[in-house]
Chain A
């Protein structure tokens, strides 16, 4: 019959085709290693010094038969472009490096001050590096020290950074999300400046895993400040205690806890705010921007230092008033501080004008940061306290 012959011919042709083909892109997973973190610094002989943190698959959390060795290793190379540095890692390292699971990019402070755009072009273009990789600025002498901090339980530094920033952002708002995607969007949007988390390694950075075998870790990564940028250049740092207010104003805050000072001396009430929303409107008024900010929040009372009638509505009302006043004060202070120290609109007021009052903004967009420094702010805070957890009054009132 004709059909078997046709099939045979087809199979031979397919076979020839496939034999002539090859596996250009095939990567053998067990002979390659994942890059989980990258640290970028100024190089001595070349433009950049790149340290990569390479995962040791057998020692990570997901493997059962580890021997307690370090979950990752660090390798360093210098070159004029980042891509060349990474591709030449095999001068020291035996396996193929896979970049698609990179978790953190640590940029040295000095490099950041010169400008991020040149650095980030490689990472943004590459299809392997995902947009939610964490981009952080290091305040240490050496950026690669950040990657040298060991963690117990088979966790590598890259994952630790990612996890730390994520949780800090979500629970207290102490760090911005600090992802590569944020960098891309912030640098492209007029009227908003970039905010990234700044980390530093504290304590003596370990050479082996012994430092995690004691009760108190000898070294750790600390998310201290927030790095403020103008354009793509680093201009300064904002302390962590102000970061949650900044995030509140940009409407990026999920939850936070504020310590509201009460009328008595050194007495505070801790209020946890869980649903926060800030809406702004900006207009130009005789050459100065006039910013109106409306903050709404819902929260509950976590702890009290003084007696307060929380079983009556008046108690709640008073506490709400105090909290609102406190938040307003903090916002005013923080915005003023940014206006004087940095001259950079990290809050996105300019962005609001760009979107909602486009033609007005077009005229002043070149000098927005300077205008922002002169802006007037009017804040309205509305906090609703709903409940006080398990107890109403404080313990010492009951007797």
Chain B
């Protein structure tokens, strides 16, 4: 079933993938001017995406796994594939954990987290097993919903008079260096670096030209939306308030009050988030299942549901409390996982491929 995604589907898939969880949290609050960090991340993210595009062009049409085996040889290649599979599943479980935190904070309270996860995980598997074509269509729908809700949220916030643009000042109060540092310390890898997943099935995404075009638009749009989301959060909450909020967009949404009639809009944010995580987790699960299928020479659909249960339980076991979850994401995962697997290994693979197949340089 070598179906290709249409450009719009590819755009929507990339957009939701990038926005899915970041839109609620905003970038990690290492710096007051988080919106500037979002804006600045465009440049390095394009470079990183460019690296992936080079890999696609030079990979000779094969997916990430073929490329790895081709560049590193069978043994090391398979080891790396295993690493990537586990990596994708780990990210998926982190996303699930984020969703769990939101649901427990905003919607439910004493219901055991296990049940919440157990309810969600089969749906993720159901989406993943449907294949890339179905995921593409799903992403168009979800992208529309997310954008619609986000616009409604913005509009209602402005109508309630809660937006004060003066709260963006002071500008660069801690200096530009910190801002630039924050770009490379966290913002680049999450969410932009996760695009490495797309290498797993890029052959179904429509060819380097289409991927380049749709990808560019998607990167620009998601940077714009994330910046705007951060700006909105700062303008309604204030910088200090935002830094101590667990879910900044949720706190902002709680301030909506139009004519004392349209109030209490928390559910909108929960809705956006759950669907965003659904798509991200489905894509990551699909990539993980492809990895497992490659390694164990079986069919992708056999791995769908079991791996889904795996990421479900992992999401519960992986951190003891919220602070551990956040610090794990910001510090440990960054240095041990994101940097090597999103940047170092692809770069090395690219170089090795170039050495082994001395093809002409790409444009």
A, B: real partners: yes
Chain A: residues with CB nearer than 8 A to chain B? 17, 21, 24-25, 127, 130-132, 181, 184-185, 188-189, 354-356, 358
The reply to whether B110 and A25 contact each other, CB–CB distance below 8 Å, is: yes
Contacts A130-B254, A354-B170, A358-B173 given; does A184 touch B111 at CB 8 Å: no
The chain B residue with its CB closest to the CB of A181 is B255
Q: Verify if B177 is at the interface (C-beta below 8 Å from A).
A: no
Cβ contacts under 8 Å, A130 to chain B: 254, 263-264
| Structural contact, B255 and A24, CB atoms closer than 8 A | no
Secondary structure of the B side of the interface? loop
- Bound Cα distance A357, B241 (Å): 21
Query: In the complex, which residues of chain B have a beta carbon less than 8 angstroms from the beta carbon of A185?
Result: 238, 241
Report the Cα distance A185→B169, complex, angstroms: 14
CA separation between A127 and B250, bound complex, in Å?
10
Give Cα A342–Cα B240 distance, bound, in whole angstroms.
26
Given contacts A181-B255, A355-B170, 10 further A-B contacts (CB under 8 A): A17-B118, A24-B109, A24-B110, A25-B110, A130-B254, A131-B255, A132-B255, A184-B241, A185-B241, A189-B238
What's the Cα separation between A354 and B168 when bound, in Å? 11
What are the nearest 7 A-B pairs in CB distance? Answer: A355-B169, A358-B170, A188-B240, A24-B110, A24-B111, A25-B108, A358-B173
The CA-CA distance from A17 to B264 in the complex, in Å, is 32
Whether B106 and A127, one on each chain, are in contact in the complex, defined by CB atoms closer than 8 angstroms, is yes
Q: How many residues of B contact A (CB 8 A)?
A: 23
A25-B111 CB under 8 A given contacts A185-B238, A185-B241, A358-B170: yes
* Residue B209 lies at the interface, judged by CB distance under 8 Å to chain A: no
Asked if A131 meets B254 with Cβ closer than 8 Å, knowing A189-B240, A355-B166, the reply is yes
Closest Cβ of chain B to A40, distance in Å, is: 22
A354 to B169, CA, bound (A): 8
- Complex: A24 Cα to B111 Cα, angstroms: 5
CA distance A132 to B173 in the complex (A): 30
Expressed in whole angstroms, the Cα–Cα distance for A184 and B236 within the complex equals 12
Smallest CB separation, A374 vs chain B (Å): 24
Residues in chain A near residue B166, CB distance under 8 A: 355
Q: How far is the CA of A62 from the CA of B105 in the complex (A)?
A: 31
Chain A contacts of B118 at CB under 8 A? 17
**Can you list 20 A-B pairs, Cβ within 8 angstroms, ordered by A?**
A17-B118, A24-B108, A24-B109, A24-B111, A24-B112, A25-B108, A25-B109, A25-B111, A127-B105, A127-B266, A132-B255, A181-B255, A185-B241, A188-B238, A188-B241, A189-B238, A354-B170, A355-B170, A356-B169, A358-B169
Query: Once the chains are docked, how many angstroms separate the CA of A181 from the CA of B263?
Result: 15
B115 at the interface (CB under 8 A from A): yes
Kindly state the separation between the CA atoms of A351 and B118 in the bound complex, as whole angstroms: 49
Chain B's nearest CB lies how many Å from the CB of A15?
14
Contact: A132 with B257, CB < 8 Å?
yes
Residues of A within 8 A of B111 (CB): 24-25
**Across the interface, which residues of B come within 8 angstroms of A356, CB to CB?**
169-170
Indicate with 1 or 0, residue by residue over B229-263, a CB within 8 angstroms of chain A CB atoms.
Answer: 00000000010110000000000001101000001
B118 to chain A, nearest CB (A): 7
Report the minimal beta-carbon distance from A331 to chain B, rounded to whole angstroms. 21
**In whole Å, how far is B266's beta carbon from the nearest beta carbon of chain A?**
8
Specify the chain A residue showing the minimal Cβ separation from B107: A25
* Distance to closest chain B CB from A352 (angstroms): 9
Rounded to whole Å, the gap between the CB of B8 and the closest CB of chain A is 34
Please give, as numbers and ranges, the residues of chain A lying within 8 Å of B110 by CB-CB distance. Answer: 24-25
**How distant is the Cα of A25 from the Cα of B166 in the complex, in angstroms?**
40
